[in-house]
Amino acid sequence: MNRARIFLFALVAALFVAQAHGQQAITFPSGDGSAQGLLYLPQGAGPHPALVVIHEWWGLNDWVKQEAAGYAAQGYVALAVDLYRGKVAADPELAHELMRGLPQDQGVRDLVAAVTYLQHRKEVDHARIGAVGWCMGGGYALQLAIADPALRAVAINYGALATDKTDLTKIHAKVLGNFGGQDRGIPPDAVHAFADTMQSIGKPVNVKIYPDAGHAFENPNNKAGYRADDAADALGRIDQFFAAELKH
């Protein structure tokens, strides 16, 4: 099968999954304004566990939509928040510009508002809400855990890490992290410092560093850095983590 046909098959499959699991474009209150995202509903009336899905610096692109739809297929209400308000980058220069143009307080406010929105959905068990993010979204997943004690489980994938004890003591969620040993932006020393600080204040944390992987190793669109075996292991860890913390 040639590359074009593989891409077409993947696109059709993603659209089928999205349609089968009730993709809805939504807006919800955030501060004095509103935020937006895509909501994916699982089969059945619920109440279901729910996930806030947080995109990379590229924006809410097809890969993140596919991940959110996949979580809905597993039985979660998944809300993929669009922090860029509809903008999506196809090159690193624009991605960097969009990321720098997003005030962190606005991003965190939108994500906290997303949790509140989920808590008021009849399909959602408000006591079983988690978050998952990659790259920029991984950092925001941690900031959301600091800002909102309602979260029960958070998965951080090569996202920026905080080590300030005052901030980390605010976390009530259990935390899972997947990181690349060759990631120059978030090196192993930073991961170890984060894990050590969390453990020193009695916060549950489970981090894994993949020695041969760099940044964004889970994303197949990262042609140079994608590591299929490591990605499969990391995503499997996330599935097991959420199943244990949100489904039982």
pLDDT of 7 above 50 = no
pLDDT of 248 above 80 = no
CATH of 3-247, one of 3.40.630.40, 3.40.50.1820, 3.30.390.50, 3.90.550.10: 3.40.50.1820
Mean pLDDT of 217-245: 98
pTM recorded for the entire structure = 0.91
pLDDT 10s digits, 164-210: 999 999 999 999 999 999 999 999 999 999 999 999 999 999 999 99
Strand partners, 180: 210
Angle of helix 3-20 versus helix 62-73 axis, rounded to 10: 50
pLDDT band for position 12 (50/70/90)?
A: very low
Residue with tokens 């549950």: 204
pLDDT 10s digits, 13-54: 444 444 444 799 999 999 999 999 999 999 998 999 999 999
pLDDT of 142 above 80 = yes
pLDDT of 9 above 80 = no
Strand partners, 4: none
- Between CA 85 and CA 97 the distance in angstroms is 14
Q: How far is CA 197 from the centre of its chain?
A: 22
pLDDT of 11 above 70 = no
Average pLDDT for the chain: 92
pLDDT confidence of residue 238: 98
